[in-house]
Structure 1
């Protein structure tokens, strides 16, 4: 498969696993997992993807630069980005003192008033490093990173969960937890 088709297939997998499994007749468990073979059948039902194999799906999951997918045995899930409710697996990993959120300059005024909200997702997405958060921020014009004081956020009631590969998920974050705005060029 070409790089272009890899990106298209990854986007389609994300659509199914994060947002609309029921639209495609796919049943996810409480944590967002489904069988790789069931996902392959759903994808193969689309005319442009008839040739897709379980091995192609495993390749997409392994090659994802943001490690969007997690495979455990014969099961696959999207690690983060859900607009549908899924439970998050617990992790013993300690919440770092600072996390980063990628956004854009035009959203800053609203964020300063209401805080960082999940918007169309179930949870807020944060990164352990500025470089990883930059990937999300650069999808928009006038990208911006926000540095979050996690201790301050937890004192205000925020709950953090590790999703894997530098990605943390949280409930809404108060404006007071933002300790630095970092413009990107």
Structure 2
């Protein structure tokens, strides 16, 4: 499978696991897992992807630059980005003092008024490093990073969950927790 097809397959996997598993005949458990073989069959049922194997899916999960997928044994899940409700696994990892949120300049005024909201997802996505958050910001015109003081956010009632690979998920964040606006070039 060439790189371009890998990117498209990864996007299709995300669509299924994050947004519409039932549309493809999949049932996720409470934490968003399903069988790798079930996901493979659901993907193979689409004419464009009938050649996809379990090995292809495992390869996509293992090599995803953002580590979007987690495989445990014969189960796979999307780590984050869900528009459907899933429980987050607990982690003993301590929330860093600062996290970063990738957004765009056109959203800044609304964010200053209402804070950072989950929009059409279940939670707000944050990164431990500016470089990782930049990947999300650069998907839009006028990319921007927001530096978040997690202690201020926690004192205002926000909660954080580690999703893996630098990614943290949170409840909505108040405008007061934004300590810096960083333009992305």
TM range (shorter): over 0.9
Counterpart of 2:19 in structure 1 is 19
Q: Distance in 2 between matches of 1:139 and 1:47?
A: 29
SS at the partner of 1:157?
coil
Count of aligned pairs: 185
3-state DSSP of counterpart to 2:153: helix
Query: Where does residue 145 of structure 1 map in the other structure?
Result: 145
Q: Residue 184 of structure 1: CA displacement?
A: 1.0
Q: TM-score, normalised by structure 2?
A: 1.00
Deviations 1:9-45 (A, max 9, x none): 0000000000000111100000000000000000000
1:127: which partner in 2?
127
Where in structure 2 are there 5+ consecutive unaligned residues? none
> Any idea what SS the aligned residue of 1:182 has?
strand
Q: Name the SS for the 1:99 alignment partner.
A: strand
Shift in Å, 1:73: 0.3
Moved over 2 A (4+): none
CA RMSD of aligned residues (A): 0.3
Q: How does 1:100-119 map to 2 (within 5 A)?
A: 100-119=100-119
Q: TM-score, normalised by structure 1?
A: 1.00
Aligned residue number for residue 180 of structure 2? 180
